[in-house]
């Protein structure tokens, strides 16, 4: 409770003490709660514009391929590398449905 008093302000037995304790901590740290609507709006805008730091996001943003658009040949090559072979293309839905029917018939035999 004492390490995070703001999370316990709704507690029926200790809520008022936690609010007082959180206020004392804020005053000690120099954080003054907003008392007017304008101050609250300023605090909201500051928090909204502040970007959260994320190690994973920072590493992912270093990807050299992030803003590169691949042409069709490069996409096919990358797909082949990722899938372990050349992609099999199905010409139409009719052929796909025929393949499914063949698989189902093989399963019955």
pLDDT in tens, 28-86: 877 776 678 887 888 788 888 887 788 888 888 887 877 888 888 888 888 888 877 65
How far from 108 is each of 76, 99, 102, CA to CA, in Å? 36, 15, 10
What is the mean pLDDT of the segment spanning 17-22?
Answer: 84
Distance CA 82, CA 89 (A): 16
- Does the pLDDT value for residue 105 go beyond 80? yes
Q: What is the pLDDT of residue 14?
A: 84
Do 41 and 78 lie in a common domain? no
Identify the domain containing residue 85 by its residue range.
71-108
Q: Is residue 55 part of a domain?
A: no
Structural domain total, the chain: 2
Question: What pLDDT sits at residue 90?
Answer: 53
Q: How confident is the model at residue 87 (pLDDT cuts 50, 70, 90)?
A: low
Contact of 71 with 80, CB cutoff 8 Å: no
Asked whether 12 and 29 are in contact (CB, 8 A), the reply is: no
Q: Is residue 65 part of a domain?
A: no
Residue 19 pLDDT exceeds 60: yes
Residue 10 and residue 46 in one domain: yes
Rounded CA separation 77/84 (Å): 10
> Is residue 42 located within the same domain as residue 77?
no
């Amino acid at each position: 409770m004492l390490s995070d008093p703001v999370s316990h302000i709704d507690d029926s037995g200790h809520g008022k003490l936690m609010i007082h304790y959180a206020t004392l901590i804020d005053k000690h740290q120099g954080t003054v709660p907003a008392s007017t609507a304008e101050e609250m709006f300023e605090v909201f805008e500051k928090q909204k514009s502040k970007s959260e730091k994320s190690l994973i996001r920072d590493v992912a943003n270093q990807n050299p391929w992030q803003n590169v658009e691949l042409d069709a040949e490069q996409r096919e090559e990358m797909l082949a590398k990722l899938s372990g072979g050349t992609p099999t293309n199905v010409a139409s839905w009719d052929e796909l449905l025929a393949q499914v029917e063949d698989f189902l018939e093989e399963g019955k035999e």
